[in-house]
A and B are shown apart, each in its own frame.
Chain A
Amino acid sequence: MTDQAPSQVSSSRPPTTWAIEAIGLTRRFGSSIAVNQLDLQVPPACFLGFLGANGAGKSTTIKMLTGLLSPSAGSAIILGEDIGRGSTEAKRAIGVVPEDLAIHDRLTGSEYLMFIGRMYGLSRDTILQRRSELLQWMELHHDPKKLIVDYSHGMKKKLALAAALIHDPQVLFLDEPFEGIDVIASKLIRELLAKLLERGVTIFLTSHVLEIVEKLCTHVAIIHQGELVAHGSIDELQKGISDNSGRQRSLEETFLELVETDRTNLPTLSWLS
C-alpha cells in the first residue's frame, strides 16, 4: 500500500468526513522544501503513527495540521474545517502536545489547567471537575503549590497531555510524547491513549520509538525528505515490504528499508576498524 494517491489511512470504506485531511500540503523555508505535496487522509477513531528520520518534515507537518504554521500550498483540514485558515471550530476540536510542550511554566499545574480550560471556553465547574480528575490520574496532585518550572520532565509531559485533554478533543496530536520519560509515566500515557482510542478519538502521534508505535498504533505513515513514502495499517505496511523468504518484517526493518540512505560509499572509520 505504498505510493498510492491520495493516501487514505483506512482499511474499510472511507468516512464522509475525515478526521485529518492533508491535501497537497507543502511548506517551503526559503529555497528548501520541508514538506512537499503531502496528501494524507485519516479517518475518525484511528491511531496513526507518523514516522520519519530527523529532519524528514514530521514537526513541520504537525505544525501545519494544528494551525501553528501556515502551508505554502495545499490545505490542512480537521473534521471538515480548514485549520490553515484559522478555523475556530477546528481549533476547538483538537488537542495538541507539542514537542517543546508549550507550557507557561510560572504557573502551578492547577492554575495552568484552569487557564487552558478557560481558553477553550469551558465552564468553571467543568474545569474544576476535569482538572481534579486529570491531576489525580496523572499523579500530579501531590503538591498543588509547586510551579511547573520545578516539575521534572516527565511531570511536564503529563501536564501537557492533561492540558491537551481537558476540553475533550476529537483529534489529538502528540509530538514525541514518550521522549525523555520514565517507564511508569510511559505506561500511564499508553493506558490513557488506549482509553481515548476506545472513545473514538483520533490520535496522530510522532515518535522515534518504533516499538511503541508498533504496539499502540493501528496505522502508520512514513515521511522521508518531506514526502510521504508509505502509509496504511501496520500489517499492510509490513506485508508490502517482505523479504525473499516471505518473512514478515518488523516495523523497524520496514522503516529502515524505506528511509535509510545508501551507506556503501561512506568512508570507514580507520581508527575503529
Chain B
Amino acid sequence: MDQILAIVWVRTRLLINTIRLKSSGWERMASVITMIAGTLLSLGIAVLIGAAIESSARVDNGEGAETLRVGLIGCFWCCTFFGVLIPLLLSTGASSIDTGRLRNFPISRRRLALISWGSSFLGPDHIFYYPFLVAAYVVCWIEIGLVGPGQTLFFLMVPVIIVTWSTGLVSLLQSILRHRRGKEIAGVLGISMVLAVSILPSMLASSLKARPPGSRAELGHPLHPLLEYINLTPPNLAADGFLALEDGNLQLAGLKLLALLCWLLTGVLVGYMIMQIGLDSGGTGSRTKTSGPADHEASGRDLTRLLPWLPPEVVAVISKELRYLLRSTVGKFNLLALPVLCVLFGQLFKFDQTEQLLPGFEHDQLVIYGLLMYALLFTNNFISNSAGWEGEGFKVYLLAPVSYSRVLLGKNIGVWLYASLLYLEVISFWTIFHGIPKLEVIFSTAMLFTGAMVIFTIAGNFSSIRFPIARDISAMKSQPSQAAILISILTVACLSGTVVFIVLAPYMIGLNIGHLIPLTLFALLSLGAYRISLPIAGEFMKTHGEQVLEKLESGH
C-alpha cells in the first residue's frame, strides 16, 4: 500500500512540478489558470450530466427508461473518452511516470503491474472524470430510489475497466515512444487522426447539404450494424446491466456483468503482456541496422553547387535546416497531408461555386489560398520557434565565426525552400485531381504565399529568439511557446487586414487593376521589410544568444 501511495504522490508531484518548470510568471499563471479551469470544467460537466439525466428521466412519455439509458450511456462514454484520452496525452509529457523505470526497485513484476494499476485510480489523470459518475449516481438515487449494491457494482465497473485499458494503452504508447521511429510514426498518425476528426464533421455537413432533404434519413441505415456492436462496449453494457437490475431481469443483468468481466480480464491480460514486453525490451535506445563501410565522399552532397551565389556558411545552414525539416514529424506530415487535403478540400467546396467571396477572385483560387495558408500555419511552427528545434546544436552558431544575420538568413531560406516545396505540391496535386489552375491563379497565389511567408518570418525571427522553447523534432507536440503563438495570431490578424486592404483598396477608389499588381507589390514590400529587419534580428540574436542557450539547455 505504501508503494501505491508513493507512486500516487509521485504522479501528482510531477504534474504540479510542470507548473514550477514554466520559466516566466505569465506561463506559470497560465498553467494555474488551466488547472483551475480544468477542475471547474470537470464539475461543470458533472452538473450538466446530472441535469440532463434528471430532466430526461422526468419526461413522462412512457420512454423514461430509454431516456435514462441514453443519459447513463452518455455519462459513461464521457468518462471513457476522458479516462483514455487524458492519460494518453499526459503520457508524453513531464507529468507521466514510466512503469518500466520502477523495476530498479525491489518489486516483483506482478506487484509492479498491480501498483501501476492501483495507483492509476488515484492519479490526477483519472480523478478528473469521477465527478461525472458521482453526479449520475446521485441523480439515479433521486429518481429511482435506493440504488442497490448490484447496481452500484455496474457503476464501479466503468472506472475499473477504463483504468485497466488506459494503463495498458499508456504502457503501449510509452514503449512505442522509446523508439525514435515509433515516435515519428505515432506523431504522424496522431496528427492525422486530429485532422480527420476536425475535417469529418464539415465533410458530413457538406454532404448532407448537397443531398435532397428526403434522402438524408438514408444515411442512418449503414450505421445500424455498427450501433449493435456499440452495445457490446463497456459503457453500454454497464448502463444496460444497471437498467436490467432495475427491471428485475437478473438473467440479462448477469450476462451484462459477465461481458463486463470479460472486458476487464482481457484488459488485465493485455496490459500485463504489454508491460512484460516493455520491461523485457530493456527500454531506451533504438536499434538500427548497421551496414558495411561506405564511401563518405559519395554522401557529401550539399547545396553549394546549387546556390553558388550565397556564402558557404549560409548554404551550410540552409542544408542543415532543410534536412531537419524533412526529417521532422511535422515536416513529413505536411508533405503527406497536403495531397490528401487537396482532394478533400476540392470535393468539399465543389457544391457552392455560385458567387465570388472577394471581387475578382476565382472560387478555386480561394480554396488554393486556404490550402496554402493551412500549410503556412504548419510551417509557422518552424519559423516562430526556429531556435527551439536546434536543441543543444544552437551552441554551434554561437561558437562559429559567422555573423548571426547570416545564420538567420540561412535558417529562413531553408524554411522558404521547404515552403516552396509545399506550394509546388499543392499546385501539382490540384492539377492532377481538379485540373490545371489558371496562370493568373498560380501567379497570385505565389505572390500572396511569398508575402505572407516573409511577414511570418520577420515576426518569427524575433519571437524565436525572445521566446524559444525546446522541442524534439520527432515529437508530436510541436507548437511554440504561448507568447510566440500570441505573436503569430497577431501577425495573422495584421496580415489578413493588410492583404484585404491591398486587394480591395483599388476597387474602392474605382481603380480596376485586378489583384495581381497589389499582391506583387505586397510580396515585394514584404521582402524589402525583411531586408531591413534581418540585421536588426541578427543584432537581437547577438544580445539574446546567451538567454536562448540557457532556455534550451534547461529544456523548457
Contact = CB atoms under 8 A, between A and B. Distances in A.
Interface in B295-320: 295-297, 299-300, 302, 304, 312-313, 315-317, 319-320
B297 A150 contact: no
A143 interface: yes
Interface stretch (B87-95, B142-150, B391-399): B391-399
B523 interface: no
A32 to B, nearest CB: 15
A91 interface: yes
Contact of A66 (B324, B328, B393, B399): B399
A139 B105 CA distance: 37
Interface of A: 66-70, 86, 88-89, 91-92, 94, 96, 98, 100-108, 110-111, 114-121, 124, 127-128, 131-132, 135, 141-147, 149-150
Given A106-B328, A114-B319, A143-B290, 5 more contacts: A111-B319, A114-B302, A119-B402, A120-B401, A132-B296
Given A104-B324, A142-B290, A98 B313 contact: no
A104 B396 CA distance: 9
B237 interface: no
Interface size class of B (residues with CB under 8 A): 35 or more
Given A68-B399, A91-B400, A144-B294, A106 B302 contact: no
Contacts of A116: 396, 400
A184 B180 CA distance: 28
B549 A68 contact: yes
Interface in B463-491: 473-474
Given A100-B553, A105-B391, A131 B290 contact: no
Nearest to A92: B401
Interface in B29-59: none
Given A115-B316, A118-B315, A141-B293, A128 B300 contact: yes
A98 B546 contact: no
Contacts of B297: 128, 132
B286 A150 contact: yes
B300 A150 contact: no
Contacts of B546: 68-70
A98 B324 CA distance: 22
B313 A119 contact: yes
Q: Which of B180, B313, B320 has the most CB of A within 10 A?
A: B320
Contacts of A131: 296, 300
A198 to B, nearest CB: 25
Contact of B399 (A67, A110, A132, A149): A67
Nearest to A102: B395
Given A110-B300, A114-B302, A150-B288, A104 B401 contact: no
A150 B292 CA distance: 16
Contact of B316 (A88, A108, A119, A128): A119
A144 to B, nearest CB: 5
Given A86-B542, A132-B296, A144-B299, A103 B392 contact: yes
B300 A114 contact: yes
Contacts of B553: 100
Given A104-B320, A141-B296, A96 B399 contact: yes
Contacts of A68: 395, 398-399, 546, 549
Q: Which of B288, B401, B542 has the most CB of A within 10 A?
A: B401
B323 interface: yes
Contacts of A146: 288, 290
A106 B474 CA distance: 9
Given A91-B400, A118-B313, A118-B315, A98 B288 contact: no
A105 to B, nearest CB: 7
B362 interface: no
A176 to B, nearest CB: 14
B20 interface: no
Nearest to B297: A128
Nearest to A87: B401
A103 B324 CA distance: 13
28 contacts: A66-B399, A68-B549, A88-B401, A91-B399, A91-B401, A98-B392, A100-B395, A103-B392, A104-B390, A104-B391, A106-B328, A107-B324, A118-B312, A118-B316, A119-B313, A119-B400, A120-B401, A121-B312, A121-B313, A124-B300, A124-B302, A127-B300, A128-B296, A132-B296, A141-B294, A142-B293, A147-B180, A147-B327
Nearest to A68: B398
A102 B315 contact: no
Contacts of B215: none
Contacts of B392: 98, 100-103, 105
A154 to B, nearest CB: 13
Nearest to A149: B180
Given A103-B392, A111-B323, A120 B400 contact: yes
A223 to B, nearest CB: 21
A146 B317 CA distance: 20
Nearest to A151: B288
B24 interface: no
A100 B550 CA distance: 13
A258 to B, nearest CB: 29
B356 interface: no
Q: Which of A106, A121, A150 has the most CB of B within 10 A?
A: A106
A105 B399 CA distance: 17
A82 to B, nearest CB: 14
Contact of A115 (B299, B320, B395): B320
A150 B180 contact: yes
A110 B290 contact: no
B474 to A, nearest CB: 8
Nearest to B325: A106
Lowest 10 A-B CB distances belong to which pairs? A118-B316, A102-B395, A104-B393, A119-B400, A91-B401, A88-B401, A92-B401, A102-B392, A144-B294, A150-B288
B291 interface: yes
Interface string B430-460: 0000000000000000000000000000000
A102 B399 CA distance: 10
A121 B315 CA distance: 11
Nearest to B390: A104
Contacts of B294: 141, 143-145
A67 B395 CA distance: 10
A179 to B, nearest CB: 15
A127 B301 CA distance: 12
A68 B290 CA distance: 36
A106 B316 contact: no
A127 B315 CA distance: 14
A195 to B, nearest CB: 21
Contacts of B324: 104, 106-107
A121 B288 contact: no
Nearest to B289: A143
